[in-house]
Amino acid sequence: MKQFLLLMVLLCCSVLSCCAAPVSVNYENGIYHIVLKGEKIKKKMKFAVSENLITNKEAHIKSGARLTVNAGFFDPENAKTISYVVTDRQTAADPLFNENLMNNPVLRRNIDKVINRTEFRLIECDNKYHYEITPHKSAVDFGCNIISSCQGGPLIYPELRLEEEFFIVRQDGKVIRESASVLHRTARTVIGLKGTDEVHILIITKENPMDMYEVQAYCRELGLDRAMGFDGGGSTSMNYLNKYSVTSEGDGRSLKSFLLISK
């Protein structure tokens, strides 16, 4: 009898483990905390770029995805990217082809910092997948390939790289230039890792806006190993099935790139 009960307990645990949801979404205090677990989810993840700017909801419906989240930075004036994006092993968006970026004298002088901003990568090595959060220019290990990636920035945790990634400029100890409202409280889209195989996405809504220092403290509280920002503020958007829809302004800002998790 005891052996039978033990067998039943083990069987139930096995079933629960097998059927555990690969995507979990929890909402508390104005923050959606999304967790992606398991090996199967890795083959369902990709970053996508739209030729024209479209809303997160439009990308969600068009792709038929389970989860759609806003991703990299873009130039609303010419609809071109400010972030590198790789889709299906190919570069899908390259900021060096954005003439507004290259013709801006301040950005051009600091182009090395801009193009080396942090990115999130899905990597394949020997038919196995893992994730990385690393500067764009970081080399991939021998025999490995980037399947899909998207650049954003800055690196938030374990260290906050605001000056190194040209999100702020200081002169005589004072901030004279700020990008992406990194020092001000606003909505945020954040992606992080626990280990190299568990992805955490934070949709920090305008109901609980944070500056980057507060986001860093929150990532520490969650026990993340690494975390970085995607485009935030009015770009912060998320759609999960037909259950959750988040926008930071009206029906949603039109965007350039997206993180998609297919069904």
Please give the average per-residue pLDDT across 73-98, as a whole number. Answer: 97
The domain segmentation of the chain, as residue ranges, is 22-261
pLDDT beyond 80 at 120: yes
Q: What is the mean pLDDT of the chain?
A: 92
pLDDT beyond 80 at 4: no
What percentage of the chain exceeds 70 in pLDDT? 92
What percentage of the chain exceeds 90 in pLDDT? 89
pLDDT beyond 90 at 9: no
Please give the average per-residue pLDDT across 80-108, as a whole number. Answer: 97
**pLDDT band of 250, cuts 50, 70, 90:** confident
pLDDT beyond 90 at 19: no
Please give the average per-residue pLDDT across 93-108, as a whole number. Answer: 96
Q: Which residues lie below 8 Å from residue 113, measured CB to CB, with a gap of 6+?
A: 164, 165, 166
193 or 17: which carries more pLDDT confidence?
193
Please give the average per-residue pLDDT across 157-176, as a whole number. Answer: 97
pLDDT beyond 50 at 154: yes
What does the alpha-carbon distance between residue 234 and residue 79 come to, in Å, rounded to a whole number? 16
pLDDT digits (tens, 9 = 90+) for 199-216: 999 999 999 999 999 999
Where are any strands of DSSP class E within the chain? Answer: 23-28, 31-36, 45-54, 67-70, 74-75, 80-81, 85-87, 90-93, 118-125, 128-135, 144-151, 155-157, 168-171, 174-178, 188-194, 198-204, 226-229, 238-240, 244-246, 255-261
pLDDT beyond 60 at 150: yes
